[in-house]
Each structure stands twice: as structure tokens, then as C-alpha cells.
Amino acid sequence: MSVREIVQEPDPVLHKRAKEVTGITPKIIKLLDDMADTMYDADGVGLAAPQVGILKRIIVIDCGDEIGFIEMINPEFVSKEGEQFGPEGCLSIPRLNGDVRRAQKVTVKGLNRKGEEITITGTDLLARAFQHEIDHLNGILFTELAETLYDVTERKGQE
């Protein structure tokens, strides 16, 4: 396991659609492990494979809630309900945060590292994280959806 470099905007890989994972190989397992190490090292809540330069449909998330660490291959939404509006940031765009409108509750299905189908329902921050990371798999950044953007380096100086 190792920490990988996080791709920064405006790298073109962040704007491309990731490809389905067709088989769980030792390389995919290593990628899952490295993505977890990278996310935790960067103090993030989630990470998508394109953020480490790999165009595969893989995400990892840990919101620090009762569900804990999640890794999902080929995630897709089963349902979305309600609405929430609030701040988001991104490890690939460290200087900016923005207010984004998202579903309040989502159900997502995908595969775990053993190739077994899993389904997870999340609300609040977990729902937001799922939507943010799956957007990455589709080449969409939160800055494209944000209703407001603000430079967090300026805000830190005001606190």
C-alpha cells in the first residue's frame, strides 16, 4: 500500500468518463488499498480513481460515521431522494469550496473487492460524498455544479 499523487485541476483526466471495471485483479485490489491510503493521508472524506490518474469506476469514502470505510467498484445510483444544499471541497481543487445542491438521501449499488454486489443507503454527508465521487467518475467536478464558489485560502486568513 502506498500514497499516490492526487491529480489537480485542470488535468484533463478529471474531465473524462471512467471505464467500468471488468474484472477484479491484483492491480485493482492494490489500487483500492492505495486509494484508501491516499484519502486518509490527505485528510479527505472520499476519493475517486480518476483523482489518482486512473480512469476506472472505483471510489473510496469514509465520513467518520457508523458505516465507516466504504470501497465500491462500478458504483451506480439506485435511488435519490430529497434535497440538501451546502459546502463541498475537493482534494483535486484544494483552494476552492462551493455550495452545491445534492440529493439528501441516496442508495448506491456496486461491487466490493471480492466481486460481491453491495448496496448502501446514505443520508446527509454520506449522500453528498457518494454524489461527489460518482460525479468524478463521470468527469464532473463540484465547481461545475456549485451555486457559489469561494477561495478557502482567503477565508483562513480571516478566521
* Spatial separation of the C-alpha atoms in residues 151 and 38, rounded to whole Å: 24
What pLDDT is stored for residue 55 in this prediction? Answer: 98
The CA–CA distances, whole Å, from 95 to 8, 73, 104, 152, 153 equal: 11, 29, 26, 6, 6
State the pLDDT at residue 66: 86
d(CA 29, CA 69): 15
Quick one: pLDDT band at residue 154, thresholds 50, 70, 90? low
Query: pTM of this prediction?
Result: 0.94
Residue 7, C-beta contacts closer than 8 angstroms, at least 6 positions apart: 13, 14, 50, 51, 52, 53, 92
Catalytically active residues, by annotation: 133
Give pLDDT tens digits for 39-79.
Answer: 999 999 999 999 999 999 999 999 998 899 999 999 999 99
Q: Report whether 63 belongs to an annotated binding site.
A: no
CB-CB contact of 39 with 81 (8 Å):
no
Average pLDDT in the 14-29 region?
98
Nine-digit cell at 150?
469561494
Q: Is 15 a known ligand-binding residue? A: no
C-alpha distances in Å from residue 144, one per residue of 29, 37, 128, 149: 31, 27, 15, 10
- 32 touches 74 (CB < 8 A): no
pLDDT at residue 155, as a whole number: 52
The structural architecture, per CATH, of the domain 12-158 is Alpha-Beta Complex (3.90)
Residue 157 has pLDDT above 50, yes or no: no
pLDDT for 1 equals: 67
pLDDT at 28 over 70: yes
pLDDT computed for residue 152 by the predictor: 87
Poorest-pLDDT segment among 2-6, 34-38, 103-107, 152-156: 152-156
Amino acid identity, position 41: D
Tens digit of each residue's pLDDT (9 = 90 or more) over 81-125: 999 999 999 999 999 999 999 999 999 999 999 999 999 999 999
Q: What is the pLDDT of residue 159?
A: 39
Mean pLDDT of 133-139: 98
Helix (H, G, I), strand (E, B) or coil at 86: strand
Among residues 115, 36, 106, the alpha carbon closest in space to that of 73 is found at 115
Domain range annotation of the chain: 12-158
Task: Please determine, for residue 158, whether its predicted confidence score (pLDDT) is greater than 70.
Answer: no
